[in-house]
Structure 1
Amino acid sequence: AEVPVNWCPELGTVLANEEVIDGKSERGGFPVYRRPMKQWMLKITAYADRLLEDLDMLDWPDNVKEMQRNWIGKSEGAEVDFQVADMPDAAIRVYTTRPDTLFGCTYVVLAPEHPLVASLTTPDQEAAVTAYVEAAASKSDLERTETKSKTGVPTGALAVNPVSGERVPIWVADYVLGGYGTGAIMAVPGHDVRDHEFALKYHLPIVQVIAAAGDDSWDIQQEAFTETADTVVVNSESDLVSLNGMSAPDAKEKITA
């Protein structure tokens, strides 16, 4: 498969994330670039269930087995397509574990190496996006995800929320990794701390679609609501579907049916 890797021309090899420091190789201090290259890949996701189940057969310390479970990182969710506005042949596929929050998506984020970045960026944003993508190419995955202050740049293009029909801006941000999931996320700032911080920084809309049952006093503009117990879906209705008043599990089942 062709995936983004850390390529060091001087060393003539691909480096692990741990071998890249501040955009340079740990050995020799040579420049390292993120570049899509064909690699042999092991599809360990196909063995996720077996790997998890067989952990119980090992005589290992519990903390080590828990680390393995976290590393395997099994999750259950859904893939959702966001049509790019005014581009009939272009759609952005995202993976989410919270399809019940689709109405709360107020922007979409692409990894800098996402194949659609160049084609959907508008002319007035081309210079800014190109510069951002080039800067991201000198960072390792660890540097991109561990940085506390998230940065991004708008592409100028819009995506259509598939359930509400509303148009939402498409951004490029290096905290989204091209080799993880689909290389794109639907941002729900009302219910994700990272998305909330990004939305506040760049003045993007924040909408609450999950609330505590019987309590609507939460100030969603100040803090993301991340509780999952005893909650109901709110502000989630369109001509296509209504999830209002449902529990998160029921809403997930309905929206993915």
Structure 2
Amino acid sequence: MLLQTFIDFLGNQAFINFISTFGLAVLLVIYFVLIRDPSREKETKKREDNRDSYWQKKYDELSKNYGDLNTNYHDLEQTLNKFWTKQYEKLENEFDGLNKIYQELENNYQKLENDLRPETRKITPPQSNKLSQIGLDRDLYKLYYYACEKIDGRRAEDMNYFIEEVIRDTNTTWSEFVSPFPNIPRIGQLYDIYTNNGNKLKIELEAIIGSDKLDNQVKKDQVLAKLMNNTVRMKSEFDNFVQRLTDGMQVKAFQDGGVNPN
């Protein structure tokens, strides 16, 4: 219809006269103004509309994707929070368990450390008896060795020197251990009676060693028998002494700081 109108317009005599007067230029202007430009404007608008529609669609898709990602992120965050919270609680419980084990080990270590330090560990009465027996057996063989050397002429010291050395060494060792009796701090104080027995033992040994009627082997045999008898007697005295202390016997102090079993 528009085309027919345009054809009728071109066949109009007035239009023909106008064209004859102004020429082809006017016709072109009319074409551009009335036909081409409006058509191009419509096409341009259509393309813009299509373009806007395309980008709007892309924008909507991106918005939806972002929304989905955001939802997934929050879901993942909650899942991870639950997971790590559970792991943390598990580790915390394990740490508490390890801390408890550590405290037990620390306490056991402290006990073991005390057990390995005789100067801080209280021993039992039977253990104190064993210490006395070990000390007396050791002293027996030390004194016998010294006596044999003196009999053979290899030592010039008198027996008093040997006995004091041996008894002092043993008493020092005993003093390292805590007594089982509250009124006697150290085991060595239980056995100060040993020092007094040493005075009598010295006299008896000197009498054997200095005898002109005995040969060297007989002297050695008699020294060994004397030491063995003395050791057995001392062990028995210590056993009775510790037993009476265990039974609550009143202990009197020696003048030199020891204890008197009488």
Q: Normalising by the residue count of structure 1, what TM-score does the alignment of the two structures yield?
A: 0.19
Higher-Rg structure is 2
Higher strand share: 1
The normalised TM-score by structure 2 is 0.18
